[in-house]
Structure 1
Amino acid sequence: MATYPTSDPLLVIIDPAARRTDGESVRIAKDVLSAGAATKVCLPEGPEEFARALARRGSRRPVVVGDDRALLRAVTLLHRRRELAGCVLSVVPVGGALALARSLGVPTGPVASARAVLDGCVRRLDLLVDDSDGVVLGALRIPPLVPPPADPAVLGAGAHRDWLRTCQSLVRTLVARPPRTAAEAQAGTGPARLRVEVDGVTLVDLDQPVEAVSVVPGARGVAAVEVRPLSGPGAELSPLLAEGRAVTVSGAHYRYRADAVVSGPVRTRTWTVREGAWGLVVPAAG
């Protein structure tokens, strides 16, 4: 990682969702950034203004104040303008969905993340790019993960959630699951029949139902692929693991979750690793 010059002027793009959900964190971040560098603050009202602000950044270093979707939007825009390789991004995570930023090494507190913008280091990261020019920063999942209901009247306390998960796991090992229904297929849940190929080699084919597929960009120009076959009665099948530069998933219409966005349905899609394709400012080591 390389230290980034703190003297560069900043273009601080504050996502509208961040302003609505946590105005205090936005104010703190703006104060810290303004105290440490020459800043121009932009307050876009929607995706089009967000895109225009980023396109007109000039020599200013862009800083996105927002959640994972705002970060993903910025990377996608720069990728499609073919400007991603030459533009180092910074992010101050503000909002409800911050798991991606955290996984990439960015602090989620407004003071710590703003200070990292000013005196952090650039980390070059791999990127997954699909054949429709979409990007994946953190993880790709098929089917999309659906968060569990959070109603305490239904689930009770945390111990009750643990008990429920344990019972569900036990039932899965004792009872054969029925074929996926039409409703499950439409929702992108339940078992699926997919062909997964890694660098042209078939990892699993259509004759083996699968519970889940995950693809994560690594740090060496390859993607880590995990396929979980559907377990039979009383059986636990080991996950199938592989690494490669290109991953193709095909089969019946399926949906997938790339970072914070659910896409599809599609019949086939190929994701290719771009090594060191983008730079993100993170705290300096030590």
Structure 2
Amino acid sequence: MVIDPAARRTDGESVRIAKDVLCAGAQTKICLPDGPDEVERALARRGARRPVVVGDDRALLRVVELLHRRRELTDATLSVVPVGGPATVALARSLGVPTDPVAAARTVLDGAARPRDLLVDDSGGVVLGGLRIPSGPRTDPPVRPGGHEPHDPHDPHDPHGAGAAPPSGTVPSAGSGTGSDTGPGGANGHRDRRDPGASPPGDGSQPWWTPAARTARTALTLLSLPVIGLTSGSRRRVHPPPPHRLRIEADGVLLTDLDRPVTRVSVSTAGPDDGGLAEVVVHPHAAGGPVRALARAVTVSGQDFRYRADALVRGPVRSRTWTVLTEAWTLILPHRT
């Protein structure tokens, strides 16, 4: 059982539950690697033991890629106990693995071995589920209610950031953090127009300009600011991806060329009923529906592009070819009902 270090950090309770179920139901050797090198050593020393990955999609992909590189993937029967947030175990869920730690651990003990196809690229990378080009949509930061963009306090070019000068005719207030402020006057020698003996509202014990009072006022101000991403009216503007000029071939048949830009391309293992082929879907930028094809090898070339292969973003590359390997790996899944 190879327990990914990220799983131990993010959800130790699920890791403990999976470990207890597996140790109670089978003879188990536990490996706690600190990095990819230790994962590779553990796989090399596994003998006849079945590898069980406890972790997220990246941990599963790492093990599959290592076994493929060692030419041992076809002889290994893999199991996985997904540990992580919903987005980080989406691949395992799409493959049919339960995401509950108890159900996943019981599947490791009592499930059925199912052979699966694999997409392998010409650089040695593997794809278990699918890939898409581009790697993802471009998004702007959340927009506050009223359409005001959030400010970056560390950006000296932001007119409202920490490095920006105050607007003309204004005086930095006490406790604003600009310069040294040791008395009732500001760092630039100006004194606040309020009575220095006045007290903050609701507290007549201290003058408003004392350090404690300034700290309290600053804290209240920060607490009153809207939190980006948590305010009910915040929203994220999503821009459609720009068109890409790509040449796409499926088993040597040209689907689109550089003179016909595309907005999106996806390649996935088509399933057991399609005879070990990949499904290619090309969405043209111009009017018209997507172009679909089934192929054993898919080549994409053109201007530099990034692509998302399962949970990983790879590239930029100028050309990449993916080939389907039929029943190249085996995964333990629940029995069909």
TM-score range, shorter chain: 0.7 to 0.9
Q: What pairs up with 1:49-128 in 2 under 5 angstroms? A: 49-96=38-85, 97-128=88-119
- Structure 1 residue 265, shift from structure 2 partner: 1.3
Instruction: After TM superposition, give the deviation of residue 253 of structure 1 in Å.
Output: 1.3
Q: Distance in 2 between matches of 1:272 and 1:43?
A: 33
Q: Does 1:153 align with 2:228?
A: yes
Give yes or no for contact 2:2–2:30 (8 Å, CA) kept in 1.
yes
Within 5 A, what are the aligned runs for 1:267-278?
267-278=318-329
- The CA deviation at 1:230 is 0.9
Q: Aligned partner of 1:240: which letter?
A: V
Cα deviation, residue 266, structure 1? 1.1
Distance 2:98 2:106 in 1: 10
Classify 1:211/1:157 alpha carbon distance in 2 versus 1 (closer, same or farther; 3 Å).
Answer: farther
Q: Distance in 2 between matches of 1:150 and 1:117?
A: 42
The within-5 A match list for 1:242-261 is 242-261=293-312
Give distance in 1, aligned partners of 2:231 and 2:330: 43
Aligned residue pairs, count? 248
Greater CA drift, 56-65 or 258-267: 258-267
Alignment match of 1:143 (pick from 134, 142, 158): 134
How much does 1:190 deviate? 2.2
Q: Secondary structure at the match of 1:191?
A: coil
Q: Percent identity?
A: 64
Shift of 1:262: 1.1
CA–CA distance in 1 between the matches of 2:300 and 2:335? 38
Structure 1 position 38 matched with structure 2 position 27: yes
- Corresponding residue for residue 242 of structure 2: 190
Matched letter for residue 283 of structure 1:
P
Pick closer, same or farther for the CA change 1:111–1:79 going to 2, 3 Å: same
Cα distance, 1:209–1:108 mapped onto 2, change above 3 Å = same
2:279 alignment partner in structure 1: 224
1:201-241 CA-to-partner distances (Å, cap 9, x unmatched) read 0001100111111000122300010111114xxxx421111
Distance 2:233 2:46 in 1: 46
> TM-score, length-normalised on structure 2?
0.70
Tell me which structure has the larger Cα radius of gyration: 2
1:155 deviation in Å?
8.2
Q: Structure 1 residue 50: deviation in Å? A: 1.0
Partner secondary structure for residue 27 of structure 1: helix
How many Å separate the matches in 2 of 1:22 and 1:155? 24
2:121 partner letter: D
Distance in 2 separating the partners of 1:240 and 1:95 = 35
Higher share in strand: 1
Q: Which amino acid counterpart does residue 70 of structure 2 have in structure 1?
A: R
Q: Which is worse superposed, 204-213 or 146-155?
A: 146-155
The letter for the 1-side match of 2:246 is L
Residue 100 of structure 1: SS of its match in structure 2?
helix
* Aligned counterparts, 1:167-178, within 5 A: none
Amino acid at match of 1:198: A
Structure 1 segments (4+ residues) deviating >6 Å: 158-161
Q: Name the SS of the counterpart of 2:116 in structure 1.
A: strand
Residue aligned with 1:61, SS: coil
Question: Structure 1: 5+ residue runs without aligned partners?
Answer: 1-11, 173-188
Q: Does 1:213 align with 2:265?
A: yes
Could you say which residue in structure 1 is the equivalent of 2:159? none
1:130 paired with 2:185, answer no
In the other structure, the counterpart of 1:201 is: 253
For 2:164, the equivalent position in structure 1 comes to none
| Distance change (3 Å), C-alpha of 1:195 and 1:64 | same
Which residue of structure 2 aligns with residue 280 of structure 1? Answer: 331
Q: TM-score w.r.t. structure 1 length?
A: 0.82
